[in-house]
Amino acid sequence: MAADRNLDDFAWWQSGVVYQVYPRSFQDSNGDGVGDLPGLLARLDHLVTLGVDAVWISPIYPSPMADFGYDVEDYTGVHPLFGTMEDFDRLVAAAHERGLKVILDYVPNHSSDRHPWFVASRSSRDDAKRDWYVWRDPAPDGGPPSNWLSEFGGSAWEWDEATGQYYYHAYLKEQPDLNWRSPEVRAAMLDALRFWLDRGVDGFRVDAIHHLIEDEQLRDNPPNPGWREGMSPTRRVIRIHTMDQPEVHDAIAAMRRVVDSYSGDRLLIGEAYLPIDQLMAYYGTDLSGFQLPFNFHLLSTPWEAKALAALIDQYEAALPPGGWPNWVLGNHDRSRVASRLGKAQARVAAMLLLTLRGTPTLYQGDEIGMTDVPIPPHLVQDPWEKNVPGLGLGRDPARTPMPWDGTPGAGFTSGKPWLPLGPEATRVNVTAQAADPGSKLALYKALLALRRVEPALSVGSYRRVSAEDDVLVYERAHGGRRLWVLLNLGRDLAMVDAPVEGAHIRVSTHLDRDGEPVAGSVRLRPNEGVVIGP
């Protein structure tokens, strides 16, 4: 058997951990109630103390904020709300000084309708940029050219009276889709990558990549027999002609060539909510695509030992040769893990995330166990909730500001926060948890520290040991060292055969059993996970 590679032989993004910052809600430095880049810079040491390797920052570009930055008005600027280009440069330098990588959000599928490109494009059918967006004539009855639906509700086609055509928008009408079949669009968008790479960024998280290209013939999407009242209206149809079109891979490979032309292992992470078999294509032919196509399957798989074990096996088996795994438990679009699974089980989830093979991405605030904050209707910000109210689709609850301490602005702002802090902020905050050796924050730090000293947990092999009742057990091994992870996903006490004799508990989710010798069987309390090792 070939000897295991040294840790140094792995790219930083293989052994490292990514931390997502939603910049509006991380740290405000000027009292306007919205987080900004100087604020983020001032909090970088939190990330260092936590023990992550890279910070992915959701969009910071000039934007009318119809979709809170995912509607970009200028791909090579910084929104004054977040600061200046000098602030950005300072942030990158400060992050790099601390050994942190910086990953930006890249939004290629659509721009803002206020982007000068779209303003030109909609000005006339003869404009040189007309085909930079997806313009089509009406259907014979004068209605939209196809039955395609917007992710955020309603038709995906918006009528433009002045030029007598419809334009396509996979998301809001304020987010017209760019036409990636245009070589000029491609060139301009690849230049945007170069702009930031030249400024030293270490990679990009690529937004909504599965929406990049639509069927050229505009074929209607078929109805979805599985759609039920209460589900997102966009799911009324099966999006076979608007998502995951084969041509997307050529565009991704072009992005990857740009990134690879720079030194130092720059990274592309792709956002695509797709079944595992379809997702694998996003690694690209001969790994010419994303290094990490986001794996969101922990967000939707039933939280049961057998289901999780099957997911891990299926995902591992589907990976292309050399394809690197990754796992996600939360982001700014999904209900927080502590709300989905409950606070106690969220600790077990943290242990799972940080001990699976592959690159984990953490979402800000999950390290202190933030829960979804209920947003009263008059404070709703998210356009999705505004367009399609009452279905629980709104994303504001997971986007509330980071509570740093127990003061009225939670240390986040001296002003009025753009979203409410929520009732827990006075108790659940970074300062309180930093002082509590049993806190969620302490658990995250312990797991990240263990991951750092035990490469088996980051780059080691994965082997399922068992998935019986509520308990999932797996082994991680690297360079002759083996560790075992035992997770009790249930609320009852569980006794598990010790996978090994003469080992010790390295960490428990309850943080009170370090060094306990393991013999015979291991007792797991309700909602307890342990890592066992030499």
Summarize as ranges the residues that interact with ligand NOJ (CB under 6 A). Answer: 67, 70, 107, 171, 207-208, 271, 332-333
Q: Which is nearer to ligand NOJ, 20 or 29 (CB)?
A: 20
H-helix or E-strand containing 441? helix 440-453
Whether 271 is catalytic: yes
H-helix or E-strand containing 446? helix 440-453
We find the least distance from the C-beta atom of residue 155 to ligand NOJ, in angstroms, to be 17
We find the least distance from the C-beta atom of residue 331 to ligand NOJ, in angstroms, to be 7
We find the least distance from the C-beta atom of residue 161 to ligand NOJ, in angstroms, to be 26
State how far the Cα of 444 lies from the Cα of 433, in Å rounded to an integer. 11
**Inter-CA distances, 301 with 163, 268, 295, 461, 527, Å:** 46, 25, 12, 22, 18
67 burial type by CB count under 10 A (0-12 exposed, 13-18 middle, 19+ buried) = buried
Task: From the candidates 53, 87, 207, 396, give the one annotated as an active-site residue.
Answer: 207
We find the least distance from the C-beta atom of residue 152 to ligand NOJ, in angstroms, to be 8
We find the least distance from the C-beta atom of residue 382 to ligand NOJ, in angstroms, to be 9
Phi/psi at 283 (nearest 5 deg)? Answer: -75, -20
We find the least distance from the C-beta atom of residue 72 to ligand NOJ, in angstroms, to be 9
Task: From the candidates 105, 271, 385, 475, give the one annotated as an active-site residue.
Answer: 271
SS3 category, 139: coil
Please, are residues 108 and 206 in contact by the beta-carbon 8 Å criterion?
Answer: yes
**Inter-CA distances, 254 with 40, 248, 313, 386, Å:** 31, 10, 31, 36
Sign of the C-alpha dihedral, residues 476, 480, 481, 482? positive
Compute CA 236 distance to the chain's CA centroid, rounded to the nearest angstrom: 25
Count of alpha carbons within 13 angstroms of residue 472, beta-carbon side: 25
We find the least distance from the C-beta atom of residue 172 to ligand NOJ, in angstroms, to be 8
Nearest to 359 by CA among 323, 307, 318, 313: 323
Q: Which is nearer to ligand NOJ, 130 or 210 (CB)?
A: 210
Residue 16 DSSP one-character state: -
State how far the Cα of 172 lies from the Cα of 231, in Å rounded to an integer. 18
State how far the Cα of 51 lies from the Cα of 47, in Å rounded to an integer. 6
Q: Which is nearer to ligand NOJ, 49 or 300 (CB)?
A: 300
Whether 207 is catalytic: yes
Please, are residues 382 and 409 in contact by the beta-carbon 8 Å criterion?
Answer: no
Please, are residues 128 and 185 in contact by the beta-carbon 8 Å criterion?
Answer: no
**Inter-CA distances, 63 with 72, 303, 385, 414, Å:** 5, 38, 20, 24
Phi/psi at 92 (nearest 5 deg)? Answer: -60, -45
Q: Which is nearer to ligand NOJ, 168 or 474 (CB)?
A: 168
Enumerate the active-site residues. 207, 271
